Structure 1
Amino acid sequence: MLHYREKGIVSLLKSTLVVCAMLSLTVACEDTAELPVRHSPLNDSSPYPSSLTYWVPMDTDAAVTLKSYGDMGLYKQLTKITGTQVTFLHPPIGAVPAQDQFHLMMASGELPDVIYTDWSKNSPDKAIQDGKILRLNEIIEKYAPNLSRLLNEKPYLRKELTSDEGNIYMFPSIGDDPQIFAYHGLMLRKDWLDKLHLKPPVTIDDWEKVLRAFRDGDPNGNGRKDEIPFFYRQTDMETSYPFIGAFGITTGFYQEDGLVKYGPAQPAFKTFLTLMNKWYAEGLIDRNYLTSDIKIRDGRMLDNQLGAVAGWAGSGLGAYMQAMKAKLPNFSLIGVPFPVLKEGGTPISLARPLIIGLGAAISAKTTHPERIAAWLDYGYGKDGSILYNFGVEGQSYTMKDGKPQYTDLILHNPAGLTISQALSSYSLQSSSGPFATDPDADKQWHADPEQADAMIKWSKADHSRALPNGLLNAGEQEQFASIMADLLTYKDEMVNKFIMGAEPLSAFDEYVRKLNKLGLHEVIRINQTAYDRYSRK
């Protein structure tokens, strides 16, 4: 994942102005230094609020067809059921990351009723201490029977959801089926493999052989050496477990036999960097990776130039297969297992099931949190599960033999939308939200044999070394964030220099010493202390 760092302290006035800009899509800001606090009016005949405000970044697939989540089939139907009018506040998609806009909103103190973000990166205990969001333990127990029942039936979910200080702070996005969380991995061109008489790679050596063949063998058949064997982006360093896991480490903090370690400081990381430096020098990975983005990646895939990439089963593999059917009938993209050093080994992955940190918190500024809790709880019940996973009956799904089935509007969209784009007009199933993912829904929209096969292969990795979310208490979170701001900046800079050859690999030991000077030993100690507490729960 990307690590966002807040730079400096912003003044209240500046924060307010930025928040005004963020809310401009849905709410007009007053010409004063303060925004009005939004409350939740009561309707005594209903357990739900009459209205609420909801801050949530919009999913990129949803943004293709929707201007606001208020236009989504799910929320239109939920309004009919609950009577709650929701004003969605989406941070503008643009140069300022949503995480930075979140920090500015929190600094302003003028908060909506519901705040949806990745709380594993945003110090929920401190937010509770600072009076920004509410502790939800008692509220969920009294006013959210569906989620409460789920947490009682599956105590491991409650443990995962509870912070180190004992706080439940959000209505979570839950997915505890292995095939659900293994939705991202390596994929490559099967038609190129067939043309060059190659088998899908298993080991790192196999990958090197395949990438060289993609570079030199003219698999796209245009007579030019314009193929990019593997499309690598800088952000892949945050999720490049597809290759780094072969070396028994990860790109961040993890635990091995109960000991917390930091992957980029391990000796094996030097071996990994040596490989990436070699692949970069030989043109096996994209040499323009520092400036590449998803638009460039998609364009090159659709121009028949990419041999392999790390991506999503739905919006990646499935979308590419769908888009290339008419353009290039022989186009074939398959998922492959994460590589290992020796055949028979098991790669390491940081992909983690259960609760991934994304969820909806209730603002401490709201006046009737119990009614908002009841509204958020709807997604965890039987009817709510169908609504959040499948959307609107008769439009995005129909009932068949007592079970919801996606319609052709979703699976074979007449307007040419990908499945994830079409589904995002009606439900949150293809993104995330405050509900529990239905494994059957997930399998339906990943129904192509290539997608199902890819997710099975991606799930075959060791996911046990990932650290749980919400380990650190408020004081530790603050100390951790302070140290990691400079440490990550230096780490990212040096990693790129090592890969691109601007810094020799002989400088790796000095790089590790600098990490320690920047506080690496201390953040490992912080995580170790927190992990030990978690293990004793």
Structure 2
Amino acid sequence: MKKRSKRARRLTLSTAAAMSALALLAGCTGSGSGGDAGADAGGDAAPPNAETGGSEGNGAEVGYPETITYWIPMVDHIKGHATTLNEVTLYQELERITGTKVEFKHPSGEGDQITEQLNLMIASQNLPDVVETNWLNISRGPENAIKEGTILRLNELIEQHAPNFRKYLDENPDIEKLIKTDEGSIYGFPFIRGHESLMVFHGPIIRKDWLERVGMDIPTTIDEWEAVLTAFKEKDPNGNGQADEIPFFIKYDGNVKDSGMNQLIGTFGIGAQFYQVDGQVRYGEIQPEFKEFLTVLNRWYEKGLLDPDFAATDGALRDAKVTGDQLGAFYWYAGSGIGRYMGLMEKDHPDAELWPAPYPALEKGGKAALGQRDTAFSGIAAAITGKAKNPERIVKWLDFAYGEEGHNLFNFGKEGVSYDWVDGYPKYSDNIMKNPEGLNVSQAMSMHFRAAYNGPFVQDKRYVEQYMERDSQKEAIQIWSEPENKIQMPKVTMTADENKRFASIMTDLNTYSDEMVTKFIMGVEPLSSFEQYVETLKSMGIQEAIDIQQAALDRFNNR
């Protein structure tokens, strides 16, 4: 055990405010489960639960809860491999250390189905102890949820019972600004991306082997992209003698419209939906540059460069087109895109090579105004509901993840099982990188810890250093970080009344917009109707929505 304690003193905890280096975060666990009560203590050590009491330091007056009910959707990474997070090594270890038994409640379905179940649960007030979701997306916002008693304001509880998290916030005041409402309320234990290298993970991907076969370089401008896509269509780069290549795929859906993704739209100097210029909020789809974006996609559609079935292609069909050696370029993730697809294609198409491409610029040497870049905090947090009987104990339990031992558990799993210390570095084991059960890396990670997606903890950059094992993935992070991103909106919060009115406007507006943009791209609606389209958006209340976002941005800047 002395050897483990010596290792523990060498560990560093990544911080979200450090953009060029990690700051040391050597806070105590506040749990009474340090080195001796952790992985080395074995099953004989009594956890400091509600009966045995707390530990030294802040939070000593309470112990961990006996049981917790916890609502959280299951991620796609482990669907089919686990039915509950209780099967994940992280939570098995967490129960051993704290003595707390967690009853996970996983909603069924995905996307809108999960949102509907969450809304019904909140409306009925039939709530578990903890709900983990993106609280910035819920109806009427997190501050209203506090006022209605759905969730608790955690400021005072954190001060009294969360020494690890409080220490982290003291050392990272910019993060504390992000996780509070405009009224100053902390509404959950947040997922924090602990380093800038964790914030960029999505962008243009192209078949590098196809480029070599048609004798062209990776494109950097819209004109170069068009030339490359034309060559993909005409020169049979997959070499099967058939004209079955699909040069490019993009679908005008949540990913393209997501203000954090900006697939191709940022090339034209605007943002998808809401963005800001010198503190003034604008809406991308009513700008003249949005017509330029539509003009390019319409031209590519007419030339057969854009997937003719783009509007009807879902994730499964996209997967089939990529792994079937048909798709030349698309926007997707470095991990589940480049890494996953390369693994799936190794057997049938061993020469296939997916490579990151820069977000295209309009002119040679230029840069896109926006690419994909997440913020340190995106709204995902574990909130304690008003139905929880022992919130102070739950706060202590959630705080464990922000201490040193919990940080390692959430990011790397159980020592000796999913990782080992090698020269002071938490190196993932073959259970992760070469899983004996045939799981890919992201699936194996998700069966042992939560760094591969999100959760109430600070994500460690040493996770992504190993997850992005291919050179193409590592280069993707560098290439996709090139856009300026100065006009990106921060994660603002609206008042309850603003949120209600905003949702009323945007629900109908987005339905109309999605339909019209698809028609513009396919040529069903002529681009000469764009100005009328803009006038219709204005008549539907887009200016009022902009004003609401402006008020929220002003409050954010004044926090």
Trace 1:409-488 onto structure 2 (pairs within 5 A).
409-488=431-510
Distance 1:465 1:124 in 2: 25
User: 1:398 touches 1:407 (CA, 8 Å); kept in 2?
Assistant: yes
Asked if 1:108 corresponds to 2:124, the answer is yes
Alignment correspondent of 1:513: 535
Q: 2:520 aligns with which of 490, 493, 498?
A: 498
Asked if 1:261 corresponds to 2:282, the answer is yes
Distance 1:517 1:285 in 2: 32
Alignment correspondent of 1:6: none
Alignment correspondent of 2:211: 193
- Structure 1: any 5+ residue segments left out of the alignment? 1-40
CA RMSD of aligned residues (A): 1.5
TM-score, with normalisation over the residues of structure 1? 0.90
Counterpart AA for 2:384: I
Q: Quote the offset at 1:406 in angstroms.
A: 0.4
Trace 1:108-507 onto structure 2 (pairs within 5 A).
108-122=124-138, 123-235=141-253, 236-239=255-258, 241-347=262-368, 348-349=370-371, 351-507=373-529
Q: Quote the offset at 1:95 in angstroms.
A: 8.1
User: 1:177 touches 1:353 (CA, 8 Å); kept in 2?
Assistant: no
Q: Secondary structure at the match of 1:296?
A: helix
User: 2:201 touches 2:372 (CA, 8 Å); kept in 1?
Assistant: no
Q: 2:113 aligns with which of 90, 97, 115?
A: 97
Alignment correspondent of 1:29: none
Q: Secondary structure at the match of 1:328?
A: coil
Counterpart AA for 1:341: L
User: 2:252 touches 2:517 (CA, 8 Å); kept in 1?
Assistant: no
Distance 2:80 2:307 in 1: 28
Counterpart AA for 2:102: V
Asked if 1:50 corresponds to 2:66, the answer is yes
Distance 2:111 2:205 in 1: 29
Asked if 1:68 corresponds to 2:76, the answer is no
Counterpart AA for 1:167: S
User: 2:371 touches 2:480 (CA, 8 Å); kept in 1?
Assistant: no
Distance 2:489 2:189 in 1: 20
Distance 1:467 1:164 in 2: 16
User: 2:411 touches 2:459 (CA, 8 Å); kept in 1?
Assistant: yes
Q: Quote the offset at 1:462 in angstroms.
A: 2.0
Counterpart AA for 1:168: I
Counterpart AA for 1:469: K
Counterpart AA for 1:56: I
Counterpart AA for 1:131: G
Q: Count residues with an aligned counterpart.
A: 497
Distance 1:107 1:281 in 2: 47
Distance 1:216 1:409 in 2: 44
TM-score, with normalisation over the residues of structure 2? 0.86
Q: Quote the offset at 1:44 in angstroms.
A: 5.0
Q: Which ranges of 4 or more aligned residues in structure 1 deviate by more than 3 Å?
A: 41-44
Counterpart AA for 2:444: A
Q: Quote the offset at 1:337 in angstroms.
A: 1.4
Trace 1:3-18 onto structure 2 (pairs within 5 A).
none
Change (3 A) 1:233 1:415: farther
Distance 1:402 1:326 in 2: 36
Residues 255-291 of structure 1: per-residue CA shift (max 9 Å, x gap): 1111100111111001101111111222212121222
Q: Quote the offset at 1:231 in angstroms.
A: 2.1
Q: Quote the offset at 1:323 in angstroms.
A: 1.9
Q: Quote the offset at 1:409 in angstroms.
A: 1.8
Q: Quote the offset at 1:176 in angstroms.
A: 4.2
Q: Secondary structure at the match of 1:511?
A: helix
